[in-house]
């Protein structure tokens, strides 16, 4: 089996042609790529993933 293609490798054409798949991958991002700053729900979709800090509830801030 070949290397899994990450979002970091997606071409502009693939992004345009696979918009539904892209939206499923990024709808609730918890990771960002340190190389290109793309985000994804799971680290497997990025080449150099780092966890994103959790969002603070706005009602808790203050």
Is 14 within the bounds of a domain?
no
Is 2 within the bounds of a domain?
no
Range of the domain at 33: 19-51
Is 8 within the bounds of a domain?
no
Is 13 within the bounds of a domain?
no
Is 38 within the bounds of a domain?
yes
Q: What pLDDT, on the 0 to 100 scale, is given for residue 58?
A: 53
Is 6 within the bounds of a domain?
no
Cα(62)–Cα(46) distance, rounded to whole angstroms?
A: 34
Q: Are 50 and 36 in contact (CB under 8 A)?
A: no
Q: What pLDDT, on the 0 to 100 scale, is given for residue 7?
A: 93
Is 30 within the bounds of a domain?
yes
Q: What pLDDT, on the 0 to 100 scale, is given for residue 54?
A: 81
Is 33 within the bounds of a domain?
yes
Place of tokens 């054409």: 13
Q: What pLDDT, on the 0 to 100 scale, is given for residue 43?
A: 97
CB-based contacts of 4: which residues, under 8 Å, 6+ apart?
Answer: 44
Contacts by 38-42, CB closer than 8 A, 24 or more apart:
38/7, 38/8, 40/7
Token pair of 47, please?
Answer: 């080449």
- pTM here? 0.76
pLDDT in tens, the chain (62 residues): 556 789 999 999 999 999 999 999 999 999 999 999 999 999 999 999 999 998 765 555 55
Q: Specify the number of domains making up the chain.
A: 1
């Amino acid at each position: 089996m070949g290397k899994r293609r990450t979002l970091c490798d997606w071409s502009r054409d693939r992004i345009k042609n696979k918009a539904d798949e892209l939206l499923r991958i990024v709808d609730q991002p918890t990771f960002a790529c340190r190389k290109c700053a793309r985000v994804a729900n799971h680290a497997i979709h990025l080449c150099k993933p780092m966890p994103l800090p959790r969002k603070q509830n706005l009602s808790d801030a203050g």
